[in-house]
Structure 1
């Protein structure tokens, strides 16, 4: 459940700009975007002497990434405008345990919900388990990255049997699931399959027994660098059952 201030900011943003258009929203709010300078951070929000500026690191060339950063900084402007926010390594994720502060969590949630409004997204999510093909269609519809679309879609899944895991190399970076009882400690910290050789789509048994029982549908997508997204679905094992078996 979101605070009334968060909901008011989100509703305002959706009412005064074109749908999912942070650049149009910046024009409405009188915020200038500076993106021609290399920075040590992903982005900055500066409000000083009547000027409102969002700085984006010029080294970040991915358009979806830039779009998310601008939306994130607008979230800071609408929710936390009394301070200067310098955001390092902004995450396309709304997991409070991953972010460095409550403000960063709220700004990420604002960006995610502004770019992919729930009332538009829900009809696009299939009733069956999500596949990356479904997520690709959602990403194209909202003009966002596969990572953003996957995170939001899995959280709002109708089947609620998916777990989305990001591994950097073979090591756990983050996860997302509609299951709120699932914790970071429940996810294998080292990927139980070799991501360098695993097929992009397969049904496997044995590797994810702490999370599922029986066959698991596994899909792999590489968004960038050495990171890989692993999308799992199947018959979930409750954490109580998993702990009892141990």
Structure 2
């Protein structure tokens, strides 16, 4: 399981660096554009009517259409911050080159312990939206402190805060060159951030 965790975490750092992301909240549309992944709200497509009801009621999914990876997001879910996590999760599937030949719809922010692709996509989403190195540099600890700058739901922020607590306890920040590069990329944002 650690290999899956490490793969998703490292890819999140690579993506933040490659896309020049240097502030919170992370611009997911910039990432999608960089990787040529299009994002469609359910309300703007007729594809949803062709799907089983459980899929169309889910938060979102990624699928191949005409040889391209396309992301569909349920914009009827009113929590914008939850939709942001869904977008990041589906970007994770696309960028990590997961098998998307069948539709797997997202309906939970909780990490799956059995489906490694879902676990990786959640870790990728968490680490893209809430980079630990940046949160540590800002001395952020609580879900409430995470929610505002990262523009994420309370549940996502609570999950991140729990992992962050462990990283603080073990002082496990900036050990990997890519994580250090992410931290450097956010220098101006960190310097000017007001809690």
TM-score range for the pair, normalised by the shorter chain length: 0.5 to 0.7
Deviations 1:168-203 (A, max 9, x none): xxxxxxxxxxxxxxxxxxxxxxxxxxxxxxxxxxxx
Residue 120 to residue 109, structure 1, CA distance change in 2 (3 Å): same
Deviations 1:84-133 (A, max 9, x none): 35344432233x43xx511111100110011011101223456xxx6xxx
Is 1:120 aligned to residue 120 of structure 2? no
Unmatched segments (≥5 aa) in structure 1: 161-246
Q: Is the 8 A contact 1:41 1:86 kept in 2?
A: no
Counterpart position of 2:150: 142
Deviations 1:138-172 (A, max 9, x none): 21121111221111112221686xxxxxxxxxxxx
Counterpart position of 1:78: 95
Residue 138 to residue 82, structure 1, CA distance change in 2 (3 Å): closer
1:54 to 60, 71, 78: 71
Matches within 5 A, 1:37-186: 37=43, 39-84=56-101, 86-94=103-111, 96-97=112-113, 101-125=115-139, 134-157=142-165
1:16 to 1, 15, 18: 18
- What TM-score results when the alignment is normalised by the length of structure 1? 0.54
Task: Count residues with an aligned counterpart.
Answer: 151
- What TM-score results when the alignment is normalised by the length of structure 2? 0.66
Is 1:35 aligned to residue 37 of structure 2? no
Residue 82 to residue 155, structure 1, CA distance change in 2 (3 Å): closer
Which of the pair is proportionally richer in helix? 2
1:48 shift after superposition: 3.5
Unmatched segments (≥5 aa) in structure 2: 49-55, 170-195
Which of the pair is proportionally richer in strand? 1
Q: Is the 8 A contact 1:112 1:152 kept in 2?
A: yes
The structure, 1 or 2, with the larger RCO (C-alpha pairs under 8 Å, 6+ apart) is 2
| Aligned equivalents of 1:60, 1:109: Cα separation in 2 | 22
Deviations 1:28-71 (A, max 9, x none): 11111110336232211112333221001232121111110110
What RMSD over aligned residues (CA atoms) do the two structures have, in Å?
2.5
1:2 shift after superposition: 4.2
